[in-house]
Amino acid sequence: MAEDQRTWQVQLSGEGFVREGQTSSFELSAVVCAQNAQAALEAAVILAAQKHPELLQAVRGHGVGPRINVDEIQQIDATMASLGDVFEVHWSV
């Protein structure tokens, strides 16, 4: 981990995503290394989207469509960084 990187716990939720032909919502929990909270948010979404490309449907700005909501982003103890970047996504219909 670079010196200017911090370890962050990121919790997100979203709704309005089309997955397997159905409109779905999700909860995402991730631990990532990033310089700041915004970078941690972006890293968590990019990491999870590698396995769950449906997350890329999210709309930026004030449009209508799938949304990703930030539930919590907090800096955590750096000992968690030994795990590397990890995430878990739970989908529901």
pLDDT in the model for residue 4: 82
Q: What is the pTM of this model?
A: 0.84
Closest CA to 92 of 11, 22, 10: 22
CA distance 85 to 64: 31
| Block mean pLDDT (10 aa), the chain, length 93 | 81 93 95 95 94 86 80 86 80 93
1 in a domain, yes or no?
Answer: no
**Contact yes or no for 34/6 (Cβ under 8 A):** yes
* Tally of domains within the chain: 1
pLDDT in the model for residue 80: 59
Q: State which residues form the domain around 36.
A: 6-92
35 in a domain, yes or no?
Answer: yes
